[in-house]
Amino acid sequence: MLIFFYRAEVAELADAHDSKSCALRACGFNSHLRHQKRAPLIQRRSLSFFVFFADSCTGYISGIRYIIFVLTIPKEGAKDQKLPWYFSLTASVIVILIGIYKKLNIGLIMLFGALTLGFLAGLSFIELINVFYSGLVNDITVMLVISIILLGILGNILKDTGALGEAVENLHNLVADMRLVSASMPVLIGMLTVPGGAILSAPLCAEAGSKLNLPPHRQAAINIWFRHVLYFILPIFPSLILASQISGVSISRFMLINLPLTLIGLISGFYLLFRGYEPISTGFNFSWLRLWKLIRTILPLIFIMLLVVLFELYFPLAIAAGVILALINYLPAEKCIATVIERLKTMIIPGIKLPVALVIIGIMVYKEMLEESAVLTDMTNLVLGLGIPVLFLIIFIPFLVGMLTGDNSASIAIVFPLFIPLLPVGDTLAFSAYAAYIYSSSTAGHIISPAHPCFALTKEYFKEDIRGIVLPLLPLLLIVMLAGLIITLLLERL
């Protein structure tokens, strides 16, 4: 039997049986509690009560909801037990921050955050179960989990066969500056545009960064920044395609307007993230033989990109093909079959990272809970109704939504329909500039979101706290967003 004891100061309770019954019914209380003796009017007296539930978990949830309802009930009663969106959202964020502080798995943290959000948003027990089920089994989650597991296996094979070390060394033979090597790896793998793909570039960044004596938090920041800085203009990035479809602005125009942001991001990122860490040598040492050696080491990655971009193959299948290619790459001249069998035994199982898969599950469930509870929509509508200048909203709201969701496509789907009616009409260039800036703002928030799979996976790989990773990225985001704002205002005047 569950026993819940609560003691609180209550200024006033409804003194009519009907009003109390309505309040109890709104909270989903059982009939035996609704028909208890009517409570007298209480003026700032201490109220103590015991609530007993033994029949179901639904009763437990209803009981806690009633207690919260009593704490927040207006003097004239209440018609809805749903708490304000800001209460629900803040509470879930606090739960997530506490879990992060305790260094728990990000996936578990996000699951508890989702449960907190849905519970305080007034979702029933059945609705909570449905959201969790939907977050677990929807096509995107399944695809991501399979992809992340396969990417972990691929990364382990590349590492154990020596391909990762060879890739860094061969790139270093072509490009003497190890800073360029460290920055180029996440850029190259970022072309895959799969959520969570940072887990594959992380070992490459770590390998190159260690030769520069970069601290782990700086290696993590480099992995995140250079992987995503191209996403402002990358035409195969799903979020950019979605933004183009919703706004009606062509992808080529998005790319043209945002091209300065990517260039500025690359230059400023290289300067700020590698400042204080000078390489032993610089310059280029090009030869076709060195180029072929580099291509051979990363051939599984190139193969995956070709299958996805040119043939639009289902991403997990493309990664599986890359895994097979990695298994047979760098085989010795003798005992090829025996070597492949040995690799299957020693490299597949160790490469399966279930905690990393749990990260994806937690993030997707939290995303589903945000959508089901309508917290983001309520927040955005409230801010839009305050009469704040549209330009101010365009700067901050997409960034905030992108950071909260950790999913740029979801953020684009939320903010674009809200802002498009507010953008300049009749001036195609100005409309395109604002649409591009909304996309850029959402992408910037997405980059540093703890709910962003790449961020969470990078954090897990380098075993660093969020603060250490975010702080080096904030100046870069400020520079890029300021550049985008200036470009938008200039294009508006043309």
pLDDT in tens, 249-298: 888 899 899 999 999 999 999 999 998 887 766 667 778 888 888 888 88
Q: Compute, in degrees rounded to 10, the torsion defined by CA atoms 364, 159, 221, 96.
A: 30
- Smallest Cα–Cα separation from 206: which of 217, 191, 194? 217
Which pLDDT score is estimated for 225?
A: 95
Choose between 401 and 172: higher pLDDT. Answer: 401
**Nearest-10 crossing angle of helices 17-26, 57-72:** 130
Choose between 396 and 70: higher pLDDT. Answer: 396
**Strand segments (E) across 151-226:** none
- Are 460 and 374 contacting, i.e. CB atoms less than 8 angstroms apart? no
The pLDDT-based confidence of 226 (bands split at 50, 70, 90) is very high
Choose between 1 and 111: higher pLDDT. Answer: 111
- Are 376 and 370 contacting, i.e. CB atoms less than 8 angstroms apart? yes
Choose between 208 and 380: higher pLDDT. Answer: 208
Helical ranges in 28-138 per DSSP H: 31-34, 57-72, 85-101, 106-120, 125-137
Rg of the chain over Cα atoms, rounded to whole angstroms, equals 27
Is the pTM above the cut of 0.85?
no
Which pLDDT score is estimated for 19?
A: 39
Say yes or no to pLDDT of 481 above 80: yes
Q: What number is the average pLDDT over the span 53-76?
A: 42
Choose between 207 and 434: higher pLDDT. Answer: 434
The pLDDT-based confidence of 100 (bands split at 50, 70, 90) is low
Q: What number is the average pLDDT over the span 391-405?
A: 87
Tokens of 353: 């990272």
Q: What does the chain come to in residues?
A: 494
- Are 81 and 65 contacting, i.e. CB atoms less than 8 angstroms apart? yes
Report in angstroms the alpha-carbon separations of 356 from 179, 184, 321: 28, 24, 21
pLDDT in tens, 360-369: 788 788 878 8
Say yes or no to pLDDT of 55 above 50: no
* Residue position matching structure tokens 């390489």: 279
pLDDT in tens, 311-343: 878 878 988 999 999 898 878 777 788 888 888
Q: Cα 266 vs. chain centroid, distance in angstroms?
A: 22
CA angle, corner 371, sides to 366 and 372, nearest 5?
Answer: 95
Average pLDDT score over the chain: 77
Which pLDDT score is estimated for 232?
A: 93
Tokens of 443: 């992408």
The DSSP H or E segment spanning 6 is strand 2-10
Say yes or no to pLDDT of 346 above 70: yes
